[in-house]
Amino acid sequence: MADVAGAVVAALRAEGVGTMFGLLGEANLAIMLAARAAGIEWVAVRREDSAVAAADGYAQGSNRLGVAIVSQGPALANTINPLIGAAKGRTPLLLITGAVHPERRHEPQWLDQKTLIEGTGHVRYTRVDDAAKAPAVVAEAIGTAVNDGIPVVLEVPTWLQSEPTSSAVVPVPKQRSSVPQPAPTALDQLAARLAQAERPILVAGRGAAHAGEELKTLAARTGALLGVTLPQRGMFDGEPNAIGVVGGFATARSRELMLEADIIVVFGAGLNQFTLEGGALMAGRPVVRVDVVESVHVPDGCRHELVLGDSAVVASALAARLPSGFRPPWARDADAPDEFVDLTDGNGLDLRTASRWLDEVLPYDRAVAVDLGYFTSEPCIHIGVRHPNRQAFTLHFGSIGLGLATAIGLSCAHPDLVTLAAVGDGGLMSALQELETVARLVLPIVIAVYDDDAYGVEIYELQYRDQDIEPAVFPPVDFAAVARGLGIRALTLRNTRDLDAARSAMRDLDGPLLLDLRLRRGVITRWYRNLVHPDFPDPTPRLENAV
């Protein structure tokens, strides 16, 4: 016989879980001890939301189940923000929590946890009500998370964790949904259109992650260019016909080519506002979506045709219907980097220049986690990754402050790589406690702080409305001093001379390093103009005179 805590851990080990992230509490102590005894690495972070964000980053970087464990009541309440983000990003994640006995509702930590979780509208909830059924309930929770690509909160009541149960591990349920087979007529018609097209583009999303070779073959037969959605960056790294990311965080060259295309075929991706740049990239040209699901949310007025089927199967079937041989790509220099006028001056660094510099000085093969903020587009555009699982994002719920914890999880997924955590000063201030986690674990993380002493989007929104920007501006924080106080090497970089001098520090990265990138305000990025305010005025004089 085993106890319930042991049954939870046995199911995790059977699924191949080797790492879990969390905060220790009375309600999860038994499970944590069982996990350590079973050889699962316990990564302790400083806040519950960080535990979930780290598990999310680990799952994104490893393509495996991410596992977090927290205590009960207020501890679970602290996880809601990253849980919703992971759900919207379709991350397979299991969050284990305890619970106060329902007869003790007078206790401060009692909470109707089922209502809280199900009230999000995005996250699944399940509970162990009977010790004897614990192995089956845990297996079902793991299966839901893995098969449906969604976070599941597994409530294991504290008073049940030491109760005896079966030591047998219940197999995790297999994927039950069937993949639709493409209709031959639809394949014939799409193959004919690709054969006649002069400027085709194929775009791969996460649903086409397994179809890289098939899409390369199809592109070679048609002369198509190859694009990717943001989560698939690096999928076609090195291919001469690759245009990189399409959408709001694309390079200028990628955007130009998308606007020139005469047919766009999107494999395994939802057509959201970022992929479509609010609809502008695909308006007025034929768009075909290849996917295993029929319905996706698209911006108003953006119509597309649908071919149901697995991306690899459809791409292979299309190539088989086309003449064999090689057709050269219809455009050269498809992956040309952005050109821009460097606005670095005595007021600070141009955030585009800082991003380009990081791409140059970081190891060629690196992992990259990006927090949310005004700066987000620039590391996504200028700092490359070599494979989609070398990156993790926190963008799905529009929340700042989860990037550093996500980078911790990503680094644990790739311990042999240097991980870049690109964060804003506002985001880092809301997650400052995780600097201690980075220092304690001696993780090979470069924390690049895009630091303009402000909430960037908000200062430009205030400027656009002809309002004083003072409410969005804060006194400078010496992040380098804070990092050093926690045992992290740190540099403050204000100009191109500082960037040149810092190159030597990047050559021997044997532990964490924080770079406080002091930015010049007034650099209006392309994504902000294209997606938010195309008519945005030049803010430079007013912003530079602001205190």
Q: Identity (one letter) of the amino acid at 286?
A: P
* Model pLDDT, residue 545: 46
Nearest to 431 by CA among 59, 166, 78: 78
Nearest to 407 by CA among 38, 65, 60, 36: 60
Cα gap 407→415, rounded to integer Å = 11
With contact defined as beta carbons under 8 Å apart, do 209 and 193 qualify? Answer: no
- 255-259, 306-310, 336-340, 430-434, range with greatest mean pLDDT: 430-434
Select the more confidently predicted residue: 100 or 202. Answer: 202
pLDDT in tens, 474-496: 999 999 999 999 999 999 999 99
Q: Extract the tokens encoding 255.
A: 């955007």
- Residue 226 C-alpha from the chain's centroid: 21
* Model pLDDT, residue 301: 59
Q: How confident is the model at residue 293 (pLDDT cuts 50, 70, 90)?
A: confident
Cα gap 303→310, rounded to integer Å = 21
Predicted structure pTM score: 0.93
pLDDT in tens, 243-279: 999 988 888 899 899 999 999 999 998 877 777 776 6
Residue with tokens 């609010």: 278
Q: How confident is the model at residue 538 (pLDDT cuts 50, 70, 90)?
A: low
Q: Identity (one letter) of the amino acid at 131?
A: A
Q: Extract the tokens encoding 153.
A: 């909160």
Question: How many residues belong to the chain?
Answer: 547
* Residue 498 confidence (pLDDT) above 70: yes
Cα gap 182→267, rounded to integer Å = 13
First to last CA, the chain: 68
Helices 48-62 + 80-88 axis angle, to 10: 20
